[in-house]
Structure 1
Amino acid sequence: MINITKNNKLFFILLIFWMLFTFNFSYLNLIAGTAVCFIITRLSYAILYNKKRYSLKIPRIKVMIKYFFNLMLEIYKSSFSYMIRIIKKDCEPFIVEVELKVKDPLVITIISNSITLTPGTLTVDINDNKLTVLALKNCDDREMVVRTEIKEKFEKIFIKA
């Protein structure tokens, strides 16, 4: 019963956001918004709840703020680094597999999206906690360098938490 109540809260929150983002209060828009919010709420029920309780574990806000500033710094540094490499034509693409220590699907998704946001890297595939990453590097031990960078710059923040 508690899950149904929380699910209704999710529905109303989504509906409020729908109305705020569209800022159109016509009957057709309200009906469409209600239908879309209902469908999203119903489809997300199995993802958000298990049989006993709310099952999605979100990292603490302090960790996410630290991670956000770290990500912005990495994007900034990497953009200048790859701008120079592209101008010099001094980079070769390669694929590397990185196995993460974290098991939480949300954290793995955050890390893979961060890799994709960082210039010069792209997450190609996710298999459990193993990421397949396309990267542009020009050093000799490039696969080990990419693995170490991902683990040190992205995953380490969530492991400490």
Structure 2
Amino acid sequence: MSEEPVFVRSRWGTGRYVYNHRSPVGLALIVLTSFVALGVLFGMRAQSTWSESELGDAVREGVQALEGKRHYTSLESDHGLLITEAMRESGIGPRYGVDTRQGEGGAYTVSTEDTDSAYCVRITFTRDDQPPVVFPGAADRPPPGPDMLAFYLSHATVSEGRCP
């Protein structure tokens, strides 16, 4: 058995204790710590990247969550954030890294940097005529135009591939 201590004071002027590479236990701890650190880094990388199946599952779950959901929005808004938020709420995949590109007619191409696949999500809105709060004079106002905020119900569909 070696008489070398497992920990020694650092000679770099900090006065802290460090693993002693001359001790067999200290050397084993140095090697073990390196492997644990690498495992943690690889695990973090795996949790922060999208896989093909995760993206597909998250898009489908997000579209299901959007179906019939009530939103306070305008028809002219970019609704890509609604898709991203619905995917995030599904709990599938990382919480970030989704790219939604707006196309024509309420179509959004959903993809990530980590995958080669893309999905076309189409969102349409119908007017929700039951606002949660009735305020004086609401019946006298005209219906909102496409750029005015109002309550709408969303309807969403998904297909594989980029939107045309």
TM range (shorter): under 0.3
Q: Which structure has greater helix proportion?
A: 1
Q: Which structure has greater strand proportion?
A: 2
Which structure has the larger Rg over C-alpha atoms? Answer: 2
* TM, length-normalised to structure 1: 0.24
* TM, length-normalised to structure 2: 0.23
